[in-house]
Amino acid sequence: MRSLLLVVVLTLTACAQQPAKDDSLYRDLGEQAGITRIVEGMLLNIAGDARIVRHFENIDIERLRDKLVEQICVEAGGPCTYTGDSMEESHKGQNLTPSDFNALVENLQDAMTTQGVAIPAQNRLLARLAPMRAQVIDR
């Protein structure tokens, strides 16, 4: 009986010491609905951006939207699971340049601004997405 009690106490202690997941950025982005609006706004911005729109021709835009929403949700600390391909795989053969990447980021920032996302929250998201740059350019 003592060993069972010890196991229960240790289990409860371990659970209590787990840090809570920080979902503050997810909330700052407007949760699932806000992230969806941001992604849709970004894609609309890209559709009018002559610098990079050619990279989105012949792409299933609905699937891309869904995977981007998942990815941003995960990066923002939300309760989502990313089910898409790796960044390397999804950008293979596209020969994207730093200018292409920067244009996409500008479109994302414009979409966040349109949705009323505060600059500090925008910067937090961009900082979390920045490591993907190396996984996207020249693949």
4 vs 98: which has the higher pLDDT:
98
Position 4 confidence tier, pLDDT thresholds 50, 70, 90 = very low
What is residue 8's predicted lDDT score, i.e. its pLDDT?
Answer: 47
Class of domain 30-136 (CATH, top level):
mainly alpha
What is residue 93's predicted lDDT score, i.e. its pLDDT?
Answer: 86
In angstroms, rounded to a whole number, what is the distance separating the alpha carbons of residues 137 and 74? 22
At 80-127, the pLDDT tens digits run: 999 999 899 988 888 899 999 999 999 999 999 999 999 999 999 999
In angstroms, rounded to a whole number, what is the distance separating the alpha carbons of residues 78 and 69? 11
At 10-59, the pLDDT tens digits run: 455 555 555 567 999 999 999 999 999 999 999 999 999 999 999 999 99
In Å, what is the CA distance from 15 to each residue of 8, 9, 11, 18, 19? 11, 10, 6, 5, 9
What is residue 53's predicted lDDT score, i.e. its pLDDT?
Answer: 97
Long-range contacts of 65-71 (CB under 8 A, 24+ apart): 65/36, 65/39, 65/40, 68/39, 68/42, 68/43, 69/32, 69/35, 69/36, 69/39
In angstroms, rounded to a whole number, what is the distance separating the alpha carbons of residues 57 and 62? 13
User: pTM for this one?
Assistant: 0.83
